[in-house]
Structure 1
């Protein structure tokens, strides 16, 4: 087909598509932790600026509910974060700003005869981790915000800002479960998922604009991009963060079994709220999918923990691993029925 016979509109679309294709290919990269190829055009410098702006916005949004840095819960959560950062050489947790003292009644579900280490921030940590400035190589700065809101059963991390809502603590149940949640959320930051999503949005906007120029139905194309690109990519990121978070908590000497256990409890909560067991409808995989994937990854996590000299003083390294794994498999079968 002769270029000269194309109308002006078609030439514009083809030119933009061609230049965009070159730009896209030039910004493909492989994720070191997972090997997946992705498009990424956001620089670390931009991410650093976004981290500052994000923290300011979070403090404005949750300022009245943020627990002070010397609150027992905050101190305990900080200790788990520091263990994970230190064991994985991810950087340093910065000090929190002074906030007004608040009274806080721990949710009753957090007890129930389980380990009470969460209520004693000064207790000997269950891991042998802990910040040792002499061994820190990565000086990346992280921040922690603990939000006193039992109605929000969530935690998140964006550009190095970690936000934990107190409503997630009953699901965590103890320090081991807390390490699973924090490992997952910090995994998103390590994998730069927020920047990947921002980069992908640019591509989707350009594609949508080109389709509109060509007169194609944007409603259909939007539906297609949602179910064929956005939601699958989001679920992929969640499973990646699960796997990387599992490795990170294992290096910090936490029990890897706590991760599928935590998602089992989360799954029961999801089921009680009527979530459908259909991954393709959601940004997050179902807990059943995540439990299955984490179960498959447990041997690798146990190997990571067993190979770490820092973990030599934790519970006798999985002499009962095969029994535990069999028990986990039995529980998984019950959960799926």
Structure 2
């Protein structure tokens, strides 16, 4: 009987090979260019995503991968391949047995460190150090065609340039531009007639604002906070930074898969949770900071940013709450409020130091009005 039982017992390898494939999905929004928490935000671009997008949890978003590619990924755990693991292990052992193994490892490490250090740069406004191998021209070329895809999706819903919503966005954008450092861009504004709370700016100056976010903004000052955040993603070239980061994470996953047989999807999942998502949240925080100073330089009340995120927090709760922050590409609305509160004194000082007195404000408003009259006759 004992011998019979032993013969009937499945071998460990067979058990492992029979494991059912399971899918693991991490998703921060159920978005990142005016990433007001929406899957619909193009990911390769500004990574702009005002956090408002993270409030949108409809899984049926048709363009969730247009811009913020990678905001929602599927990772599938494959059944353990023991033979593949043994093959990879053998390759690693043969390499390790080479008499020049340590020299090769040292050489490769030196090359990798040199490339990394050589491509470190400092973000002008925030002073943050980051790795970036994508030039501004390459970033812009990679973003070409994204706006056309968005327009194909929402073309019939784009509001007239004569609409009050379009004029409001154009008016606020015009005041922000001189303080963005991006005056040379060919700016285009598209307001989409949708209740979605979302907005984003694609590198190259393509601005998309959904009508629903205007209810959250409640005026030009609130809209300046939203647009300032989204423009800041372009100012800091977050899309290029994101692509640079993904190149490192992908290379790490490929090496781990080839040398030690660790499943590629599993390594990508770990990289996504440990490096990509925290990096995305850091970029969103930086865009909040740059956008706050930009709106203050443009003579908009920076305290309006507090109101925007307070209303976003209320809206977020009405939609069922936010996902856990460690699974999100954006900080929570509450966390953003706390940060903005810390930055307000500096922003208010900029407001006071600028030409933002009553006369200056009237002059700016009059200039914008006259430009509108000249535009529409």
1:39 aligns with 2:84: no
1:279 aligns with 2:325: yes
Deviation at 1:52, TM superposition (A): 3.6
- Distance in 2 of aligned mates of 1:7 and 1:235: 44
2:114 maps to which residue?
A: 22
Q: Secondary structure at the match of 2:145?
A: helix
**Would you say the 8 A contact 1:171–1:262 is kept in 2?**
yes
- Distance in 2 of aligned mates of 1:308 and 1:292: 25
Deviation at 1:239, TM superposition (A): 0.7
1:238 aligns with 2:279: no
Q: Which runs of 5+ in 1 are unaligned?
A: 92-138, 316-337
Q: Which runs of 5+ in 2 are unaligned?
A: 1-94, 362-377
Deviation at 1:303, TM superposition (A): 0.4
Change (3 A) 1:70 1:280: same
TM-score (norm 2): 0.65
Number of equivalences: 267
- Cα RMSD for the two superposed structures: 2.8
Higher relative contact order (CA 8 A, sep 6+): 2
1:312-334 superposed Cα distances (whole Å, 9 cap, x missing partner): 5479xxxxxxxxxxxxxxxxxxx
- Distance in 2 of aligned mates of 1:165 and 1:7: 62
2:311 maps to which residue?
A: 265
| Segments ≥4 residues shifted beyond 3 Å | 7-21, 217-220, 310-315
- Distance in 1 of aligned mates of 2:304 and 2:101: 57
Change (3 A) 1:4 1:291: closer
- Distance in 2 of aligned mates of 1:294 and 1:277: 21
Deviation at 1:17, TM superposition (A): 5.4
1:8-50 superposed Cα distances (whole Å, 9 cap, x missing partner): 9999887665533332221111111111111111112223323
Max radius of gyration: which structure?
2
- Distance in 2 of aligned mates of 1:74 and 1:153: 16
- Distance in 1 of aligned mates of 2:105 and 2:207: 42
- Distance in 2 of aligned mates of 1:245 and 1:196: 18
**Would you say the 8 A contact 1:13–1:213 is kept in 2?**
no
TM-score (norm 1): 0.72
